Amino acid sequence: MSILIDQTKRVIVQGITGREGMARAELMKNYGTRVVGGVTPGKGGQEVIGLPVYDTVQEAWEELGPIDVSVLFIPAPLVKNAAMEAIEAGVSLLVIVPDRVPIYDVLAIAALARERGAEFVGPNTLGLLSPDKAVLGMMGGRASSARQWFIRGPVGITSRSGGITSSMAYYLAQQGIGATTLVHVGGDAVVGMPHPKVVRLFEHDPETRAVVMFGEIGTSQEEQVAELIDRGEFTKPLVAFIGGKAAKSGTRFSHAGAIVEGNRGTHAGKVGALREVGAHVVDSFSELPFRTKEVLQDQGIL
């Protein structure tokens, strides 16, 4: 199995008539994603790459039947409205690709998502991909590249950096290690599906036998993963690398941020918290695939 996305999920693209939306809708389709249509207000009735375009998500739902996922390729100032529209229409998973979405807009989307039981990945995400099944967003680029780089296997991948998501999957594949699903959680301070949420999903996915995580300084996502392990809510082996050791600290954290988070957010704090609960934290990124291989072999998974 995989998490969040596979070839059966029915997907629309909001902003399908734009430069990125159109190009990415086609790449997603080529890889195997079941893209059923698109939405651009004012452009309903058109057809783009053989897909029908609707003016509203509600209209798309009425015409196409239930929609599982919407991928948003929309200018940042318009994201809040488009995301809320999709959630209200009944879409249960949103992938918010754009960068620079105002933070209070993200909070409003999060509030509605909580109320309606919907989830969103991003903003500022490259997307997610289940090898040989489907991709959402921009992950992998060309379908031929994505097929060559990513293979199926026992590892779940979660990352705070888009480029590193694909890099990790590729370097793991070079060691013969495939993945169930790759998730780029998004680069912003507040994201809909941070590491702890992704890790919980991997916990419940029987095919995922271990998780590889790329963490970064700032926020408390990695510390929350450590807490999940500590409480026995995540029980699979975890291999992690935390980026940003050399980055200057201080500018990123307001004083008020420090109190809620205590020692949270720092490189040392994250590495310490994860190691304390038995996670395998590597010191250099190039060690990651080899360490993962060792861990999988020790566990009899490989």
Residues forming the active site: 255
Neighbours of 253 (CB within 10 A): 15
CA distances from 127 to 60, 170, 184 (A): 22, 16, 6
E strand or H helix that includes residue 129: strand 127-130
Q: Least separation, in Å, of the C-beta of 75 and another protein?
A: 7
- Give the C-alpha separation, 85 to 267, whole Å: 38
Q: Least separation, in Å, of the C-beta of 163 and another protein?
A: 2
Site membership for another protein, residue 77 (CB under 8 A): yes
**Per-residue binder mask for another protein (CB under 8 A), 255-284, x = binder:** xxxxxx------------------------
Site membership for another protein, residue 162 (CB under 8 A): yes
**CB-wise, 54 or 120, nearer to another protein?**
120
Site membership for another protein, residue 161 (CB under 8 A): yes
Site membership for another protein, residue 100 (CB under 8 A): yes
First and final CA of the chain: distance in angstroms?
A: 17
Q: Which of 195, 192, 169 is CA-nearest to residue 182?
A: 169
- Give the C-alpha separation, 20 to 17, whole Å: 8
Continuous H helices in the chain: 19-31, 57-64, 79-89, 103-116, 143-149, 162-174, 195-203, 221-230, 255-261, 267-276, 288-298
- Give the C-alpha separation, 16 to 187, whole Å: 23
Q: Least separation, in Å, of the C-beta of 59 and another protein?
A: 26
| Choice from 110, 151, 277, 301 touching another protein (CB under 8 A) | 110
**CB-wise, 224 or 301, nearer to another protein?**
224
**CB-wise, 142 or 275, nearer to another protein?**
142
**CB-wise, 8 or 255, nearer to another protein?**
255
- Residues with Cβ within 8 Å of 217's Cβ and at least 6 positions away in sequence, in order, are 242, 243, 244, 247, 249, 252, 265, 266, 267, 270
Return the bridge partners of 184, or none: 159
Q: Least separation, in Å, of the C-beta of 97 and another protein?
A: 9
Q: Tell me which amino acid residue 198 is.
A: V
Residues that contact another protein, how many (by CB under 8 A): 64
Site membership for another protein, residue 224 (CB under 8 A): yes
- Give the C-alpha separation, 90 to 69, whole Å: 10
| Choice from 8, 65, 231, 246 touching another protein (CB under 8 A) | 246
Q: Least separation, in Å, of the C-beta of 115 and another protein?
A: 9
Site membership for another protein, residue 145 (CB under 8 A): yes
Q: Least separation, in Å, of the C-beta of 284 and another protein?
A: 8
| Choice from 167, 203, 287, 294 touching another protein (CB under 8 A) | 167
The two tokens of residue 209 are: 């036998």
**CB-wise, 232 or 259, nearer to another protein?**
259
The contact set with another protein (CB under 8 A) reads: 19-20, 75-77, 99-104, 106-108, 110-111, 114, 126, 138-142, 145, 149, 159-164, 166-167, 169-171, 187, 189-192, 194, 214, 216, 219-221, 224, 243-247, 251-252, 254-260, 285-286
